[in-house]
Amino acid sequence: MPDSPAREPADLLITHGLILTIDRADTTLRDGAIAVRGAEIIGVGPTKRLLDAYQPTEVIDATGQLVMPGLINTHTHSPAVLYRGLIEDLPLEAWLEKLWVSERQFVTPEYVRLGAALAQAEMLRGGTTTAVDMYWHPEELAQAALESGFRLVAGPVYFDGDAPDRQDTDSREASGREFLQQYRHHPTIIPCVMPHSTYTVSPKSLGRARDLAERFGALLSTHCAETATEVRTVSERHRYSPQGLLDELGMLDERTILAHCVHTSGSEIEQLAEKHVTVSHCPLSNLKLGSGVAPIPAMQKAGVRVTVGTDGAQSSNDLDMWTALRVNATLHKGVHQDPTLITAREALRMATVDAAEAIGLGGRLGSLEAGKLADVVILDLRRPHLTPLYDVYAHLAFAAGRDDVHTVIVHGKVVVRGRDMLTLRENDIMAEVNVLARDIQQSQR
């Protein structure tokens, strides 16, 4: 094609794909293209039009492929992949106690960095481009993310008592303040203050977490009403339910993400909607730990913003957002004997645009539109389990999986290309993990 002076420069042009924008109108484009400059999408439209309009440095031909926004996991503890499959078949409280005793022996900054790198490799390969990640030593999570190219929501954890990182609240808060200062305007690291829960953090420390989040305008995320035991314990101790206590402390607003909300009453659901709080629904973790099934359809009906998380692999064994998405889109139909609940489209929105809003990037992330950040996932459609293709949403919610992910772009940068991880040395990471795992397993005997 002859060069025309009218063609605008672009760094990347993805051509000939089936583009699923997940914009407000749910626009899909056959033989569509996306132009990217720097970290941003600058054009979305028919391939022919974009080829005429842009002069790209690089072209990715997405013939036979689906192009969609990256998935956003709103609740995980990524370095806990190092405990995947080690402690099984226990109730949450007993399981946590066993985990924390062991973690106290192993959690160091190096451990966190290694675990985060392994987890980010898993997530990026699977099409998850962003995660809300609650773990000790968040500065190490951030370093791992800067290296892998992952978009990370993280920050200081509050936890009273004998914590796995062997720090006290004062020192953790001091380094947390530095973290928030350092990343408050960062392009890919989004600060979030993370008190663990109302059963492991005192009201006084919860108040400190709230103040710190307010001072920096940061997000706030905590576990809430995960099990019936938690609700009973907190209610006896504080005369408030977990959510009630958070409300009493002024911690419920549009920047708050509550993980789980399984044992949430009708009036509490109304409150979540009124205060614009986000729920991170972790269906697989709740099923596997026997915690129950969160009242997601009631939350939807009340207008609560519901998003999806995997939780950590120490409990739910998998950071695969496709499975979380599929369980979310099927579980509630079965429980309520109503196949109209949580449509494939709704399930997809929860894991993309709704989650982007939850992390404060509603206008910037979660859909493929000009002016938004280029977090893009390309899936192979030419596969037996995806052929024929009638309804792309149904395929994504009920048939597609992470093995279909071919190429992944975060913040305009290609991090996985043709199933090759470009930013991390996975073999070295796995070798190092296997050495550490031997020690972890020995300690369990």
Binding site for Zn ion (CB under 5 A): 311
Structure tokens at 219: 């997000």
Nearest distance from residue 296's CB to Zn ion, in Å?
A: 17
Which residue sits closest to Zn ion, CB atoms considered? 311
> 154, exposed or middle or buried, with CB in 10 Å at 0-12, 13-18, 19+?
buried
Residue 382 CA neighbour count, 13 Å, CB half? 6
Q: Which two tokens stand for residue 168?
A: 């006290």
In this complex, which beta carbon is closest to Zn ion, that of residue 311 or of residue 375?
Answer: 311
Least distance (Å) between residue 311 CB and Zn ion: 5
The nearer residue to Zn ion, 139 or 311, going by C-beta atoms, is 311
Comparison of 65 and 280: residue with beta carbon closer to Zn ion: 280
* CB of 287 vs Zn ion, minimal distance in Å: 14
Q: What are phi and psi of 353, to 5 degrees?
A: -65, -40
Q: Cβ 223 to Zn ion, closest distance in Å?
A: 5
Q: Considering beta carbons, is residue 17 or 309 the nearer one to Zn ion?
A: 309
Of 311 and 346, which has the nearer Cβ to Zn ion? 311
Query: 353, 375 in Cβ contact below 8 A?
Result: no
Closest to Zn ion by CB, 95 vs 398, is 95
User: What is the chain's length?
Assistant: 445
H-helix or E-strand spanning residue 308: strand 305-308
CB 35 within 8 A of CB 24: no
Smallest gap from residue 309 Cβ to Zn ion (A): 8
| Least distance from Zn ion to the Cβ atom of residue 259, Å | 5
402 three-state secondary structure: helix
Q: How far is the CB of 258 from Zn ion (least distance, A)?
A: 11
How far apart (Å, rounded) are the C-alpha atoms in residues 170 and 163?
Answer: 13
Give the separation between CA 126 and CA 253, rounded to whole angstroms. 31
The CA distance from 75 to 312, in Å, is 8
Residue 212 tokens read as 């710190």
Residue 10 or 296 having the CB closest to Zn ion = 296
